[in-house]
């Protein structure tokens, strides 16, 4: 699980294509969240302290927390044309977690992901992150970044499997309210840079 920082409200950037509402990979379906997803998101991962330990948002203690989160997701999609995706199994339809793309500029984006505990260790994070990397390219992004807590080795491995390069440590960059509340913690920064010779694909 990569830490995801709060999303700042912003208007859609000029020249940026809107992302598809759903993406399919060999085993997964990634789709834009809906208001009605709140009970499943809350039950599957947002309320699980083990899952949210290294995340940048507090463990949800009530369904209203999740409803507010999904409202923010919807606002982000409306404002920027891209945002969080829920991760589902194509075979069973089960909710496995979430991932997303946050535009920093028309050519830079950040990503982060979280998986329910019973979805760990099955390659789902790697598969979903590959999909976000491909989406970033299609939207014209030149540089995709992600950060994680230095102790979260599982996330290091996922990013490295997806071709991300560890750039270094950002000092006092983020808070992890479920792990070290009130402390500005260091994070590891990873990035993937795309070939600057491409032309963005129309979708």
Q: Write the pLDDT tens digit of every residue in 108-138.
A: 999 999 999 999 999 999 999 999 999 999 9
pTM above 0.95, yes or no: no
72, with CB counted inside 10 A (0-12, 13-18, 19+), is middle
Residue given tokens 């999909």 in the structure block: 131
Asked whether residue 9 carries a pLDDT value surpassing 80, the answer given is no
Residue ranges per structural domain of the chain:
22-193
As a whole number of angstroms, the distance between CA 166 and CA 59 comes to 27
As a whole number of angstroms, the distance between CA 147 and CA 174 comes to 9
CATH code matching the domain that covers 22-193, chosen among 3.40.50.720, 3.40.50.261, 3.40.630.30, 3.10.180.10: 3.40.630.30
Q: How many CB atoms neighbour CB 160 within 10 A?
A: 13
């Amino acid at each position: 699980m990569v830490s995801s920082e709060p999303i700042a409200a912003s208007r859609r950037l000029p020249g940026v294509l809107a992302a598809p509402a759903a993406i399919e990979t060999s085993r997964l379906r990634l789709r834009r969240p809906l208001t009605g997803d709140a009970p499943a998101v809350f039950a599957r991962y947002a309320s699980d302290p083990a899952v949210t330990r290294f995340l940048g948002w507090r463990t949800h203690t009530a369904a209203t927390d999740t409803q507010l989160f999904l409202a923010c997701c919807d606002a982000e999609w409306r404002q920027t044309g891209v945002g969080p995706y829920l991760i589902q199994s194509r075979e069973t339809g089960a909710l496995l977690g979430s991932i997303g793309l946050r535009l920093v500029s028309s050519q830079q984006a950040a990503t982060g992901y979280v998986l329910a505990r019973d979805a760990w260790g099955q390659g789902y994070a790697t598969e979903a992150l590959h999909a976000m990397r491909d989406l970033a390219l299609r939207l014209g992004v030149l540089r995709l970044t992600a950060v994680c807590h230095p102790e979260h080795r599982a996330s290091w491995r996922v990013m490295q499997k997806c071709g991300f390069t560890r750039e270094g440590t950002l000092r006092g960059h983020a808070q992890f309210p479920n792990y070290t509340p009130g402390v500005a913690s260091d994070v590891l920064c990873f990035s993937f840079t795309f070939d600057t010779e491409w032309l963005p694909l129309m979708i």
